[in-house]
Chain A
Amino acid sequence: MKWRPVVWFLVTALALTASIVSAQPRRTITLWYPAGDIAAGPVSPFTDPNLFAPFEATNNVKIEMVGVDYDTMVQKIFAAAAGRNIADILFIDTSWLPGFLKEDLLQQMDSAKARKWLADVVPDVVDLSDYGSRTMWGYPQMGYDIYGLTWNKAQFKEVGLDPERPPATWDELRDYGKKLAKRDAQGNLVRVGLAIRHVGNPQGTVHKFTWALWGAGADIIDNPNLLHGGKPAFNNAGGLAALKLYLDMLNVDKTTSLSFPDPRAALLQGIASMQISETVSIRARQPKEAPNMPWGTGWGMAPPPVRKTGDRPGVLLGGWLFAVPKSAKNSELAWKSMDWLNSEINDYTIARRFDLTPRYKANWAKDPFRSDSYDQALLKIARYGRRLPINLGLNGVLDSLGFAIQKALHGEATPEQALAEAERLAQKAIDEAAK
């Protein structure tokens, strides 16, 4: 019969095609996230190798999550981008964004998706997402990375202070500091009232100074939403008052010291009663580093004190961003996976699972977030959250201001001299970046 070979041919061809299709290898896309202390504890969902499992199963893709050392991550991203061999998805610190935008490294998010996102999330997350005129460069992380005052409740009790009532003004802060600072028999300070950041990366010094700067009415750059141009806004009465507050605690009250380590470590080691920096770090590190100081009964958090009663606090709302670089080899899949990860349902499940705060308004209305004391305390602080400026010269500005703060604290310059020099260098950085 003549039709038999034709049928055999068709069957064989079908079987071959099916086997080729089914054997098609899964595509692999990569995601770089910061590893090390920065991602310690519950803040990193990337510790779960099955985070993307449902997405991988339905899209025949493998998402490889690669931990990159935080301290050198910027350099690695940059070198990889220059070598056209970069990850498809980057989880980046928002403070790196201006530098990356300056180098035209990132893809802008689709405007329709951006509009929808901005309509669905809470106002603080809108602030973190919107880079002017609803421009988005990626999805901000789940979990607030907000700065706040954290304090040791046992030490408050020890000196007769109400452990549930942190200082609300600068005067109170200094007064509390005097009560909390502790000295040994020789008069050496063995516990500071408020630990301050005065060494290390200058940008970190600024991050931990913003509460005082903003609280005094000064700013880093006059228009924080401007990419090009602008002026430094810290060399003024407010900036000077903020720096003098630190110097007064250091030299007049002697309730803080330059011989103490990073403020977070100092609080967790019990050698500082208060500190103002990333609340999420205390939450992540406390169970391991200070197990006898649990959230709620052991330590508390609140917006930082203001200059005078009635002023509005200002706290740094930092965070990380899921972004896709321009030279990503699998852009479409990268965005698709990010849309999936940052969907409303995953926002809820992942935030709940990893003890993070959600971003969608709808999820804040659900338990556990609406009733959890820690989440609600974060929400209260986030109300005063402010993002770093997006100016392309930001790196230079932060470096200048950070070194100025360090110089003034170490007595290398008067506050006036330090701020004037920083203003000049910051302006140079802004102008150069705008060229």
Chain B
Amino acid sequence: MGRVAPSRMHRRHYIHAYLFIAPVIVLFGLFRVWPSLQTLYYSFFKVELLKGRLTFLGLQNFAGLVHDEIFRAATLHTLTYAAAIVPIAAALGMILAVLFNEEFPLKELFKAIYFAPMVTSTVAAAVVWWWLYNPQYGLFNVILKLMHLPGQPWLLSSRMALPSVIIFSIWKTLGYNLVIYLAGLQAIPHEYYEAATLDGAGSLQRFLRITLPLLAPTTTFVFIYNSIFAFQVFDQVYVLTGGGPARATNVVVLELYNQAFQRYQFGYASAEAMVLFLFILGVTMLQYVYSRRFEVAY
């Protein structure tokens, strides 16, 4: 029996590997890459799907976006939403993780309670929160009344609607951040804390000098992950406010959804999607490059 040449073995090894990942690659290509490429293609056309007609517009859709005040406002709302939810949810997640890193009774139960929103359907949770925010019967106003504070209009006010959506989203994201930070905390060698304690460092100093810097890669991941989802916010806005009142909570994905499915402007909606894609790509790259400075190795 002759020996199989190493290069042939190598090749076969690769073929096996590719065969194993092929189903995922095919599905990913079919349902992610192909639609994305089609969106890019459509963004240069006026698309009339039912008539099967595409009219080439060049960059007209993109030029239209520059002058579109509704899209600009939607972008601003999306940025406000992301700027609020990402740091707040990350900070709260980190604080909770530090607390949960200690031992106390019913810790696992509380951890599950905090994580529950993450595994709850956004739509179902938003419907419940819609009732919590109800000015007449909602729990939040009942609590305010018990504290002798005036009831708030919450989602019914153009000024309070976006903050109300942000509060909901923070609640929804917190559990995930908590778990990620907890994993990050548990990876920090305990010797560092022991050495710092021997050197006389207090708990705040240990947190600021050890925990915070060594959690930087985790923080980067949490920021990137939360940013991507924040820029794509849709479900909760759709359910809680529908983009109102007075477009106060209209965000980019909701706007492109309306352009596509309310006004049937698929080309224009595709251009909006491409702008959002480039934006997310840019922010992610920026965060990634910047975060490499903080990489740590134990």
Residues of A bordering B, CB below 8 Å: 74-75, 78, 81-82, 99, 102-105, 188, 198-202, 258-261, 269, 271, 395-396, 399, 403, 406-407, 409-412, 425, 429
Contact = CB atoms under 8 A, between A and B. Distances in A.
A265 to B, nearest CB: 10
5 contacts: A188-B151, A395-B263, A406-B244, A407-B247, A412-B248
Interface string B234-247: 00000001101111
Nearest to B266: A82
A198 B264 contact: no
B157 A81 contact: no
A259 B246 CA distance: 15
Contact of A258 (B50, B134, B157): B157
Given A188-B151, A259-B151, A395-B263, A199 B50 contact: no
A102 B136 contact: no
B156 A199 contact: yes
B153 interface: yes
B259 to A, nearest CB: 10
B155 interface: yes
Contacts of A105: 50
A407 B50 contact: no
B246 A407 contact: yes
Give the 10 A-B CB pairs with smallest separation, nearest first: A406-B246, A410-B158, A259-B135, A407-B246, A199-B245, A82-B49, A75-B261, A259-B153, A103-B50, A406-B245
B244 to A, nearest CB: 5
A411 B248 CA distance: 12
Interface string B147-183: 0001101011111000000000000000000000000
A31 B165 CA distance: 37
Nearest to A396: B263
Interface of B: 48-51, 70, 134-136, 150-151, 153, 155-159, 241-242, 244-248, 258, 261-264
Contacts of A259: 135-136, 151, 153, 156
| Chain B interface, >50% SS class | loop
A406 B158 contact: yes
A395 B50 contact: no
A78 B246 contact: no
B51 A78 contact: no
Most buried by A among B136, B159, B247, B262: B262
B156 A258 contact: yes
A200 B262 contact: no
B118 to A, nearest CB: 25
Given A395-B263, A410-B246, 7 more contacts: A81-B50, A188-B150, A199-B156, A399-B262, A406-B245, A406-B246, A406-B247
